[in-house]
Structure 1
Amino acid sequence: MPLSVIVKIWTFIVPLIWKLFKIAFSLDWVFTLFENPPKASAAAKKTLNVSEPRNFDSIPGPWPSLPIIGTQWLYMWFGPYQLHKLHFANEDKYAKYGAIVKEHYLWNYPIVHLYDKNDIEEVLKYPSKFPLRPALEAQCIYRKSHPERYKSVGLVNAQGLEWQNLRSKLISDLARPTIIEHTIKQTNIIADQFIDQVRCSIVKDSNTVPLFERLIYRFTLEGIVAIVLDQQLGSLRDEDSPMVEKLMLDTDKLFEVCHDTMYGLPLWKYFPSKAYNQLVECEDIIYDVFAGYVEQAMKKMPDYNSDLGHSILKRIVAAEGVDIRDKIATLIDIVSGGIDSTGNAIIFLLFNILSNERARTEVYREVDEVLSTGTLLTTEILQQMPYLKACVIESLRLSPVAPNVARLLEKDFVFQNYHVPAGTLVVCETGVVGWQEHHYENPRQFFPEGGMEGGRNKILFFPVPLGVGGGRCRGKGVADQEMRVVRAKLLQNFDIEFLEPLETIYKFLISPKGPVKVTVKDRF
């Protein structure tokens, strides 16, 4: 047996034996075992009105919490939940235990889930210079092992001053209205190519479009590369490109293995697990492909300091005080992160509109009234379609792609009259908030009118999936614009019907479980 394997086994076994020894000679786990019996769901949802906050250990939640594995048994093969259906598990926990729920992760590490709008608002709007978020540990370890490529663990995983430095110097411009408006021309070009590709993909006898979701992801890939890297891959013209197909598969797989390494048992820390090996493979391929495009783009702009214009690429490359490795990694993370997140949101948006007869009729009416054949969509024209904007917001509520936001508390809080100390990991279940009846009438129905002027489903604060406060997504405006442009052009050109309800799967993001089956008929 190789010495390296023996060392890994030894470093795993010794801490495990020590923890088992401490547990064996302590009765603490007996109390942990039964500390959170289920509460009646109706009573649990009521906020307690007493003067003295209850202690942290009395927060309701699943039980028993076992030694070492805590409540992780819930997500094992014999438990009631599945790791790839976490969005359903989180909703079920709210129904059983109420607006605050405590679980225990590996080594009985506590995690608190928040389901109350006011509590979530208090966390996400806390005035922190450096919001503390749990990092993707497996990805961090991989990146630290490749200093020739990565100066840091990247913007997504960085904390504190390092995070603030990368964020302020590299991506602050993404949210500027002038930048967002500038990208709409490129989005129109890519959307027109996408429409042509959909038209060519229609099977004449059945009017079906095989693997419709793959075309959507090709559009988001092509769009984000054009916007961020000032280049076109040609993925909508060359449907059989093995490089493009491999790239899409690996970006999708990366989300899946990040999910597995984060939520599953962390065996990858001690053994070369399948999930970690797949993460390494995906990271390598994505880096190799996109780094090549970044380097090509940089060679074309030797005097990038002279005229930055509205180019995202030029602004990132020209940023002072940032290592070139961080610039390349940030560009790669923006592109790879935007493919599935925006693609999933577009698929959910189309399904929600086209599966609702009222919304379907209204949206076709608005498109036909505002647009004419060959119209170049501008920000001014998009503003003339308020129903379209309302549909995007309502779809993000009903079908969130990112259903929660995690934070490490920087100070003590009181939630639902329970004391939660600083340093606790809290998960703000924003997706479940959007499904609560006391905020929305018929919350499981798609009702865009509710969010429009004078609508009935308006609440003062709703933490949409793209985030709020210091940790909000800087690409929100670009992604929103991309969704509205492609949806308008699709419905301007085609009558689309979904043949089956969408099944969803949780793999770090909520994604449609393909294949997505549709019929597409040309309107002209």
Structure 2
Amino acid sequence: MSSRKFVSLLVLSKKIYSKDPRILSRSLNTMTTELHSENSHSCGIRPYSEIPGPKPIPFLGNTWRFIPYIGDFKIEEVDKVSTCLHAVYGDIVKIEGLLGRPDMVFIYDASEIERIFRQEEKMPHRPSMPSLNYYKHVLRKEHFGNNAGVIGVHGESWYNFRSKVQQVMLQPRSARMYIGAIEEASQSFLRRIDRIKDENDETPDDFLNEIHKWSLESIANVALDVRLGCLDDDAPLETQKLIDAVNVFFKNVGVLELKIPFWKIFNTPTWQKFVNALDVIVDITRKYTDAALMREKTSGDSEKELSILEKILAVENDTKTASILALDLFLVGIDTTSNAVASVLYQLALHPEKQAILFDEVARTLPQRNEKLESRHLDNLKYLKACIKETLRMYPVVIGNGRCMTKDTIISGYQIPKGVQVVFQHYVISNQDKYFPRSKEFLPERWLTGNDVLHAFASLPFGYGRRMCLGKRFADLEMAVVISKIIQTYKLEYHYDKLDYHIDPMYTPKGPLKLKFITR
């Protein structure tokens, strides 16, 4: 529709509908939409309906694809599903007709992801988690109130909470203050490895669970200044109970979000497992948090480094904010960091030539095993950081994240309506040769200083922007400390069939992680 035609229709509408402003308003809206649509087509912008993707069926839409036995999408193989969708449909794919939840649009273009992130608003929405949102805001509202943290929370509530805690959480200097606490947990882990490995120096089948214990111990040290004793032979039973609950939470949240949401109608077994797991996490973390708050009131030690809990209290003087932050750290910090460490150790065992380079770097930086780690040491462990980045490029523990559109948006040349969940498929993107040449090879060297060809948005294991992972600085520090101490003490080997990766509930090697730890 030309501008001249639009003006003529506007004048005509005023004459015809001048007695009824509501009719005039509707007429103007219709013409504006028509003009926008025609202009969009003239600019090469295509309608939402034309985005390629698997076709829905009547009533069940695309949700049937996640139903066991009859569906072709397995939650534990979403990595393979995503790779296949990209191969079939290209850099943008629409999954519509998902019962009880908005459409999803998958993006496989790093430049488009960068553009979306650069333009994000003050309060960006991540794809919603209705199950966790219901738990926090309805089922257990008496505990969370209007202060529900950052996980599964959006809008003003999220923004106010994030604003209160991000200065403590995201400053690099702030995280570095906890090197000693994290090193202490890492040394406990090394002693644990020495006790549990067999006569062939191999770890047991459930070694990943031992790494979970290290992660929990580290978080407790940093967040609450408490030693849980997770890695002791007589570890408290509730620490394993907490680890199990976090695993149950993550394993069931995907089922609740992607399959037919019967839980919204009645208490399904999956929903009950989910709620019970969250109750355990809340109860145990509240116990430890309350004890830490009590110690903070009675402690007269002004010399020791404050825990995160104490720092938030000092800044905000709000025990509720401090307690909810501690809960979020336990909820999403145990499995993610421990699975990342497991994956790095496995890749180093598979690539002895890279492990040798790393050992040389660690030996130069820390020639004495009993030497305490300091910031200057970590600054010199550049190849270690490259090994971590390369592992998380190839095998990110969370294979994608995204945004829920808060307004109509143009993405990859298509009109995306408000409310659609746009998912950035980082796993597929970061394993493409167009972004990382020889992408199937483990090449930590690609991350070393001077390499300017890598796309900054092609590998984002911690997300980006206003909703970047709050615990990123601490996760980076925990991984660097524990891996450096392990490589300093042990040579890693793996002598079994190569493991595939799957989602369980993080993206992790599939099968027993029987690593060989040979004392150097």
Give the TM-score category using the shorter length. Answer: 0.7 to 0.9
Q: Which residue of 2 aligns with 1:406?
A: 402
Query: Counterparts of 1:289 and 1:411 in 2: how far apart (Å)?
Result: 40
Note if contact 2:340-2:396 (Cα within 8 Å) is conserved in structure 1: yes
Deviation at 1:513, TM superposition (A): 3.3
Residue among 110, 118, 124 paired with 2:117: 124
Query: Counterparts of 2:113 and 2:369 in 1: how far apart (Å)?
Result: 45
Residue among 254, 262, 275 paired with 1:259: 254
Q: Residue by residue, what CA displacement relative to the aligned partner does 1:432-463 show, whole Å, maximum 9, x if unpaired?
A: 11011111111111111111123475224345
Structure 1 gap ranges (5+): 1-48
Q: Which residue of 2 aligns with 1:72?
A: 63
Note if contact 1:72-1:106 (Cα within 8 Å) is conserved in structure 2: yes
Deviation at 1:109, TM superposition (A): 4.2
Q: Which residue of 2 aligns with 1:356?
A: 351
Question: Which AA in structure 1 matches 2:106?
Answer: H
Indicate yes or no: 2:280 matched with 1:285.
yes
- Give every structure 1 segment of 4 or more consecutive aligned residues whose post-TM-superposition deviation is greater than 4 Å: 303-310
Residue among 139, 143, 163 paired with 1:145: 139
Note if contact 1:170-1:315 (Cα within 8 Å) is conserved in structure 2: no
Q: Residue by residue, what CA displacement relative to the aligned partner does 1:447-491 show, whole Å, maximum 9, x if unpaired?
A: 111111234752243451111111111211110111011111111
Query: Counterparts of 1:442 and 1:393 in 2: how far apart (Å)?
Result: 15
DSSP-derived class of the 2:399 partner: coil
Deviation at 1:291, TM superposition (A): 0.6
Q: How does 1:214-233 map to 2 (within 5 A)?
A: 214-233=209-228
Q: Residue by residue, what CA displacement relative to the aligned partner does 1:70-119 show, whole Å, maximum 9, x if unpaired?
A: 11222222232211111111111111110000011126842111000111
Cα gap change, 1:108/1:169 in structure 2, threshold over 3 Å: closer, same or farther?
closer
Q: Which residue of 2 aligns with 1:512?
A: 509
Q: Which residue of 1 aligns with 2:313?
A: 317
DSSP-derived class of the 1:521 partner: strand
Deviation at 1:319, TM superposition (A): 4.8
DSSP-derived class of the 1:271 partner: coil
DSSP-derived class of the 1:444 partner: coil
Note if contact 2:127-2:402 (Cα within 8 Å) is conserved in structure 1: yes
**Which stretch of structure 1 is more off in the superposition, 104-113 or 364-373?**
104-113
Give the alignment's TM-score, normalised by structure 2: 0.86
**Which stretch of structure 1 is more off in the superposition, 219-228 or 410-419?**
410-419
Give the alignment's TM-score, normalised by structure 1: 0.85
**Which stretch of structure 1 is more off in the superposition, 80-89 or 214-223?**
80-89
Indicate yes or no: 2:111 matched with 1:111.
no
Cα gap change, 1:311/1:327 in structure 2, threshold over 3 Å: closer, same or farther?
closer
Q: Residue by residue, what CA displacement relative to the aligned partner does 1:178-202 show, whole Å, maximum 9, x if unpaired?
A: 3111111101111111111111112
DSSP-derived class of the 2:144 partner: coil
Question: Which AA in structure 2 matches 1:348?
Answer: S
Q: Which residue of 2 aligns with 1:87?
A: 79
Cα gap change, 1:314/1:260 in structure 2, threshold over 3 Å: closer, same or farther?
same
Note if contact 1:111-1:426 (Cα within 8 Å) is conserved in structure 2: yes
Question: Which AA in structure 2 matches 1:235?
Answer: C
Note if contact 1:120-1:428 (Cα within 8 Å) is conserved in structure 2: yes
Residue among 182, 204, 208 paired with 2:202: 208
**Which stretch of structure 1 is more off in the superposition, 414-423 or 280-289?**
414-423
Note if contact 1:261-1:275 (Cα within 8 Å) is conserved in structure 2: yes
DSSP-derived class of the 1:373 partner: coil
Query: Counterparts of 1:460 and 1:139 in 2: how far apart (Å)?
Result: 31
Query: Counterparts of 1:97 and 1:70 in 2: how far apart (Å)?
Result: 18
Q: Which residue of 1 aligns with 2:17?
A: none
Q: Which residue of 2 aligns with 1:164?
A: 159
Question: Which AA in structure 1 matches 2:107?
Answer: L
Residue among 245, 249, 253 paired with 1:250: 245
Task: Determine what percentage of the aligned residue pairs are the same residue.
Answer: 27
Question: Which AA in structure 1 matches 2:236?
Answer: S
Residue among 479, 482, 492 paired with 2:478: 482
Indicate yes or no: 2:393 matched with 1:397.
yes
Over aligned residues, Cα RMSD in angstroms? 2.3
Cα gap change, 1:297/1:477 in structure 2, threshold over 3 Å: closer, same or farther?
same
DSSP-derived class of the 2:218 partner: helix
Structure 2 gap ranges (5+): 1-40
Question: Which AA in structure 1 matches 2:435?
Answer: H
Cα gap change, 1:107/1:163 in structure 2, threshold over 3 Å: closer, same or farther?
closer
Question: Which AA in structure 1 matches 2:245?
Answer: D
Indicate yes or no: 2:200 matched with 1:199.
no
Deviation at 1:402, TM superposition (A): 1.2
Number of residues of Structure 1 aligned to a counterpart in Structure 2: 472
Rg comparison, structure with higher value: 2
Q: Which residue of 2 aligns with 1:12?
A: none
Note if contact 2:65-2:72 (Cα within 8 Å) is conserved in structure 1: yes
